[in-house]
């Protein structure tokens, strides 16, 4: 029994399986890049913080404007001469003093908030820069991955044609036996006898077993792993 063609089929199937696994890995990388996703999320979060700080600053400015309008109205009332009652005049003066204190505190708060906003804007700029850099790297990587996928696809097509040719030289019974063992042995069915041992599991064969492997009309299975042994 000549196992040369069966061993060649095994080599082809092993290469095809490796190509299938690598193409699947490439497809996954092309569809989703965790670094890009992470950088995008970081940018979105920093933008949300910036928007929140902007809203807070606008609210403070609006409150200052409202207090200044009220202060202007109170000042106008105080010096208009329309208020003659001493108690009302005193209350108006106290109100003006209170408004000035409130405005001063709000203006301090405004300065602090402007600093917070600048820090948030800086974070956005940094996150955006990081995303652009990672995206650029990913685009380069995508080109390389796509090129590699094209090479693998071409190799796959060539191997499949070669496999069809090899199949024609293998008997139906031997092919059926090979296909049955494929599922049981994780795709590795036939291996070489190397240094008097099974190349798959390392089991050393006895002299009589090695002689059986060398016989062309005998299908010898490794006594340990059960795979077909072959000598080139």
Express each pLDDT in 188-231 by its tens digit. 999 999 999 999 999 999 999 999 998 877 799 999 999 999 99
CB 219 within 8 A of CB 208: no
Long-range contacts of 167-173 (CB under 8 A, 24+ apart): 167/9, 169/5, 170/5, 170/6, 170/9
- Region(s) of the chain under CATH 1.10.287.1490: 1-30+171-232
Mean pLDDT, range 35-57, rounded to an integer: 96
Q: 15 pLDDT exceeds 90?
A: yes
What average pLDDT score do residues 153-172 get?
Answer: 96
Region 117-140: what's the mean pLDDT? Answer: 94
Residues of the chain with CATH 1.10.287.1700: 33-157
**pLDDT, position 31:** 81
pLDDT digits (tens, 9 = 90+) for 77-94: 888 888 888 898 899 999
Pick the CATH number of 1-30+171-232 from 3.30.420.10, 1.10.3720.10, 1.10.10.10, 1.10.287.1490: 1.10.287.1490
Mean pLDDT score across all residues of the chain: 94
Are the C-beta atoms of 224 and 201 separated by less than 8 Å? Answer: yes
Query: Would you place residue 1 in the very low, low, confident or very high pLDDT band (cuts 50, 70, 90)?
Result: low
* Assigned CATH topology for domain 33-157: Helix Hairpins (1.10.287)
């Amino acid at each position: 029994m000549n196992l040369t063609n069966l061993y060649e089929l095994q080599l082809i199937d092993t290469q095809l399986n490796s190509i299938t696994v690598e193409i699947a890995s490439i497809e996954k990388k092309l569809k989703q890049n965790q670094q890009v996703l992470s950088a995008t999320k970081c940018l979105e979060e920093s933008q949300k913080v910036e928007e929140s700080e902007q809203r807070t600053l606008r609210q403070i400015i609006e409150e200052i404007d409202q207090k200044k309008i009220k202060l202007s109205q109170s000042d106008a009332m105080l010096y208009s001469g329309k208020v003659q009652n001493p108690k009302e005049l005193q209350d108006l003066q106290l109100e003006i003093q209170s408004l000035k204190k409130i405005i001063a505190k709000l203006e301090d708060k405004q300065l602090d908030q402007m600093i917070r906003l600048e820090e948030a804007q800086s974070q956005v700029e940094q996150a955006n820069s990081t995303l652009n850099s990672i995206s650029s790297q990913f685009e380069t990587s995508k080109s390389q991955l796509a090129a590699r996928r094209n090479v693998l696809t071409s190799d796959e097509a060539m191997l499949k044609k070669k496999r069809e040719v090899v199949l024609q030289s293998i008997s139906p019974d031997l092919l059926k036996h090979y296909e049955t063992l494929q599922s049981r042995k994780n795709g590795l069915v036939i291996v070489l006898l190397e240094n008097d041992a099974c190349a798959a599991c390392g089991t050393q064969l006895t002299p009589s077993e090695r002689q059986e492997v060398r016989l062309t009309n005998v299908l010898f299975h490794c006594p340990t792993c059960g795979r077909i042994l072959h000598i080139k």
